[in-house]
Structure 1
Amino acid sequence: MESVVIFDSPGKGRGLKAAKEFWAGDVIFSEASIAAVVFDSLAERICHSCFRRQEKLQRCAQCKFAHYCDRTCQRAAWPEHKVECGAIKAYGKVPNENIRLVARVLWRLDKEGSMVSDMQLTTLDELEDHINDMQEHDLKELKVDVHNFLDYWPRTSKQHLIDDISHIFGVINCNGFSVSDQKGLQAVGVGLFPNLCLVNHDCWPNCTVILNHGNQSAVSTVFHSQQRIELRSLGKIAEGEELTVSYVDYLNLSEERRRLLKTQYYFDCTCEHCKNKTHDDVKMGGKEVDGVKPSDEQVKEATDYCFQMMDKMDKARLNGDYHEVSKICRDCIEKTEPILADTHIYLLRMWSTMSEVKAYLQNFEEAAEYARKMVDGYMKLYHPNNPALGMAAMRAGVTHWQAGLIEIGHGMICKAYAILMVTHGPTHPITKDLEAMRVQTEMELRMFKENEYVYYSMREAALKNKPMTMLHEPRSVEEGIKNLFHRK
């Protein structure tokens, strides 16, 4: 950890600053978790060792709860799962994910001490738990979790004070990091990374965090590399500059970001983008045509209508009625698109949802049109190397590729690849997939330019034999990478 230094950040408490100069894509530090668990809702679909999503998993014969890809993953997980396995059997049921994570953390600390790694910059005791800042209903939930934890914790394990147990719950509540699946497209669990907890927030950060699962495919667990988070630079960082990440999505208005940060992380954001309300005007602005803008009343009316339609759209999505979602989005877009700017965050959400639904319904040409509008809007708002922009460009590129719009599709995929090379690095599975797509679309583009008729004939034949399918992707771009830290 010679690349970073702990310092007192004005108004923020402790933070990290660069001990040397960094450039875009540099890994500032990587860190393995003290402990990590799979979400309760995905316990039977995600491997509890490597966090891969698999159709068929093998269940632990003892506790009947933990699931693994195969015996290799089970052997790799056994040193950590052994005590947990006995505790679940003795308890008679499986506690929630927060209790399971606190138990794993305490078992690890009892075994190895407060510093589990030479690279660890801080102990968990030194991290803030914000229990005194919690609202009454959060405190009630905390007390219930502590009570259930005491029932679950084995009598044969080292006993801990209630204050110490509560502190770990509080630290996880504020600083638990969402662990993604192998492709990095969906949060499937939560882990605790002490060094990452020291990195402060900024709405326009100079770093991003990704999870790298390493190599988990070797037959022998000896050759497995550690699952770890990587703090990566988004651009040039000077020596002595504070390292920051964004805890919330920049697409929110400054007032909403400050509300979320106060509610979830108990601090008031004082970054320049919040103080100056940067981009708030264009995020809620009207569409200018030939120098003429709609009135404030028209923009407000269209914004309110979008807000109402989003509520209906979300309910239809929960019911799995994608045709109804499509109808709601289309009606909303037709009514508000002539009035709202192409950077209006509600209109962007409608385009994003419409693109996703149309792709799901195999209407790729229409999906590509909305995806292109979405990416164009994101490019005017997000940092050029924001991972959400990279994911959106990837989705748009694949959609254009599926629609047969090879030139735009290849351009979008190249753009996404350039961004994700910075935010995810060349060894991440999703970057490797994008590299394969880039090569494939480049080859197809050359064929298209040489002879369009032959290209479309071969494409049509290929589609008849094997229909193209969308990559597994987040339910929405906003849900993909908007929150760095897990909340209960």
Structure 2
Amino acid sequence: MESAVLERFPSPGKGSGLRSRRRVRPGELLYRAEPFAYVLTKEQLGSLCERCLRRNEHLHRCSQCKVAKYCGKSCQKEAWLDHKQECRCLKNIKPNFPPDSVRLAGRIVFKLLRQSVCLSERLYSVADLQSNIERLSEEMKDGLRHLAETLQLYLKTEIQDESQLPPAIDFFQIFTKVTCNCFTISNGEMQDVGVGLYPSMSLLNHSCDPNCVIVFEGYQLLLRSVREIQIGEELTISYIESLMPTSERQKQLVRQYCFECDCLLCQNQEKDSEKLAGEEHAWKEVKDAVNKVRYPKSKEEWKQVLARCQNLLSSNMGHLPDTNIYQLKMLDCAMDACINLESWEEALCYGLRTLEPYRLYYPGFHPLRAVQLLRVGKLQYSQDMFPQALETLKQAYNIMKVTHGTDHSLMKTLMEIKEECEAMVRIQ
């Protein structure tokens, strides 16, 4: 349905691209894509259903591999075609477990062997995917060769050698394509939960200041416009997190995607001075601390994270403004820790400090800002700050109706809280 809006075209210097066949308003759903293949991240195993990616405290484990877990028999049955051969591979390598990229590559191989027809290839097939192999650094190639060897060991119970693969496909080539073309699947609150391949969406080119965004509903990818787009105008998304200085964005794009961005934001190096404001020794210490944080799995670990955040935020008071991106990440980390420890009042203090930097770095319609406003609004509501919560939730609504759409499950959650808040304001 939505593909009628999109048109594939040659994009000079970039391979192919996608453009709009008609004028598009902000907030339109341009494409809804099912994945060719996807996997849950290792960190989320046991918390989310392998099939629908929904959180469930009572998941049912696959009786064979004891790894995959599902929210019920329906999801397990639907997932069996993708899990059947994988199941034997997972059993065979125990107690080891494959990296997410290896498990995803395995699912791609099995699906190619089945010669499955997939709706996610309506505009671009897996065979068409670019690998950029000739532009990869030797370091990157060495890393991919190691992953290819890991994949071969992982699949050996089902595939003895590369002669069983489809013509012109080998394990190394699969990884070169996976690296350049996969999407990180996030939940409604923009937290990473999986990795997936959506071939048609690989046609989208990058801009640090894009006219479209991608959000997910379960494993479904939704492409939405965030600005007015003219007939024939190229559709762009951001391949990377934009909360980085220009030089860091360029390094990541060159390393993973083999190109340098020439958008206006990169040409002007806009907001770089604000992003690294404050004393250099202070933000470098904070940067190191943030990079060392791994997603905690227990309250004790969250307490340790919070103590580290509190110590650094206190010692850097007056040395780093909240607009410094590493200070902002530290505030976000402290807020997450407080929420997980149910310290609502302290979480709100940290959350309020993030709103101005979020407004500065995510202007216009950006899903990350919408989600942050929703989180702060929920915390204000929990503290009976109903007028303030209502104002924050209204701001979240105005952005989210464009970035997520009115039918998204997160938007429905927002509407429920907003209506409850309006009722409390009327009572007061």
Q: Give the TM-score range, shorter chain.
A: 0.7 to 0.9
Alignment counterpart, residue 176 of structure 1, candidates 156, 175, 182: 182
Residue in 1 that maps onto 2:110: 107
SS in 1 for 2:365: coil
Q: Alpha-carbon deviations, 1:223-260, whole Å to 9, x = none?
A: xxxx4211100121111111000112222111211111
Alignment counterpart, residue 280 of structure 1, candidates 272, 277, 282: 272
**C-alpha displacement at 1:71, in angstroms?**
1.1
What is the aligned-residue RMSD (CA, Å)? 2.6
- Are 2:18 and 2:204, in contact at CA under 8 Å, matched by a contact in 1? yes
- Are 2:121 and 2:198, in contact at CA under 8 Å, matched by a contact in 1? no
**C-alpha displacement at 1:437, in angstroms?**
0.7
Structure 1 length-normalised TM:
0.78
Residue in 1 that maps onto 2:36: 34
- Are 2:214 and 2:221, in contact at CA under 8 Å, matched by a contact in 1? yes
Matched ranges for 1:264-413 at <5 A? 264-285=256-277, 299=278, 302-312=279-289, 320=302, 321=304, 322-332=306-316, 334-336=317-319, 340=321, 343-360=323-340, 362-413=342-393
Aligned partners of 2:290, 2:276: CA distance in 1, in Å? 20
Say which is worse superposed, 198-207 or 101-110, in terms of deviation: 101-110
SS in 1 for 2:170: helix
Aligned partners of 1:31, 1:211: CA distance in 2, in Å? 10
Aligned partners of 1:7, 1:266: CA distance in 2, in Å? 20
Say which is worse superposed, 10-19 or 360-369, in terms of deviation: 360-369
Residue in 2 that maps onto 1:194: 199
Aligned partners of 2:331, 2:293: CA distance in 1, in Å? 16
Aligned partners of 2:288, 2:30: CA distance in 1, in Å? 41
Partner amino acid, structure 2, of 1:49: R
Alignment counterpart, residue 413 of structure 2, candidates 428, 433, 448: 433
- Are 1:201 and 1:246, in contact at CA under 8 Å, matched by a contact in 2? yes
Q: Alpha-carbon deviations, 1:320-349, whole Å to 9, x = none?
A: 4123421321221x2225xx4x53324433
Aligned partners of 1:48, 1:316: CA distance in 2, in Å? 25
The structure-2 alpha-carbon separation of the partners of 1:56 and 1:33, relative to structure 1 and needing over 3 Å to count, comes to same
- Are 1:51 and 1:180, in contact at CA under 8 Å, matched by a contact in 2? no
The structure-2 alpha-carbon separation of the partners of 1:312 and 1:172, relative to structure 1 and needing over 3 Å to count, comes to closer
Alignment counterpart, residue 172 of structure 2, candidates 145, 156, 166: 166
Aligned partners of 1:89, 1:345: CA distance in 2, in Å? 43
Alignment counterpart, residue 420 of structure 1, candidates 372, 387, 400: 400
**C-alpha displacement at 1:47, in angstroms?**
1.6
- Are 2:190 and 2:368, in contact at CA under 8 Å, matched by a contact in 1? no
- Are 1:204 and 1:383, in contact at CA under 8 Å, matched by a contact in 2? no
- Are 1:212 and 1:428, in contact at CA under 8 Å, matched by a contact in 2? yes
Matched ranges for 1:209-224 at <5 A? 209-213=214-218
Residue in 1 that maps onto 2:233: 241
- Are 1:359 and 1:399, in contact at CA under 8 Å, matched by a contact in 2? no
* Structure 1 gap segments, 5+ residues each: 214-226, 286-298, 449-488
Partner amino acid, structure 2, of 1:409: A
Aligned partners of 1:76, 1:361: CA distance in 2, in Å? 36
Q: Alpha-carbon deviations, 1:28-49, whole Å to 9, x = none?
A: 1111111111223333332211
**C-alpha displacement at 1:305, in angstroms?**
1.5
SS in 2 for 1:36: strand
Aligned partners of 2:386, 2:232: CA distance in 1, in Å? 45
The structure-2 alpha-carbon separation of the partners of 1:172 and 1:435, relative to structure 1 and needing over 3 Å to count, comes to same
Q: Alpha-carbon deviations, 1:84-125, whole Å to 9, x = none?
A: 224444566654332322222222223235x53386111222
Residue in 2 that maps onto 1:47: 49
Say which is worse superposed, 316-325 or 374-383, in terms of deviation: 316-325
Residue in 2 that maps onto 1:454: none
Residue in 1 that maps onto 2:100: 97
**C-alpha displacement at 1:194, in angstroms?**
0.3
Partner amino acid, structure 1, of 2:202: C
SS in 1 for 2:26: coil
SS in 1 for 2:318: helix
SS in 2 for 1:47: coil
Question: Highest Rg: 1 or 2?
Answer: 1
- Are 2:36 and 2:120, in contact at CA under 8 Å, matched by a contact in 1? no
Aligned partners of 1:78, 1:72: CA distance in 2, in Å? 10
Partner amino acid, structure 2, of 1:128: Q
**C-alpha displacement at 1:184, in angstroms?**
4.5
SS in 2 for 1:211: strand
- Are 1:180 and 1:187, in contact at CA under 8 Å, matched by a contact in 2? yes
Aligned partners of 1:441, 1:130: CA distance in 2, in Å? 51
Structure 2 length-normalised TM:
0.88
The structure-2 alpha-carbon separation of the partners of 1:118 and 1:371, relative to structure 1 and needing over 3 Å to count, comes to closer
- Are 2:286 and 2:327, in contact at CA under 8 Å, matched by a contact in 1? no
The structure-2 alpha-carbon separation of the partners of 1:235 and 1:191, relative to structure 1 and needing over 3 Å to count, comes to same
- Are 1:313 and 1:328, in contact at CA under 8 Å, matched by a contact in 2? no
Partner amino acid, structure 2, of 1:187: D
Aligned partners of 2:342, 2:63: CA distance in 1, in Å? 42
Partner amino acid, structure 2, of 1:238: Q
The structure-2 alpha-carbon separation of the partners of 1:257 and 1:283, relative to structure 1 and needing over 3 Å to count, comes to same
- Are 1:316 and 1:324, in contact at CA under 8 Å, matched by a contact in 2? no
- Are 2:183 and 2:195, in contact at CA under 8 Å, matched by a contact in 1? yes
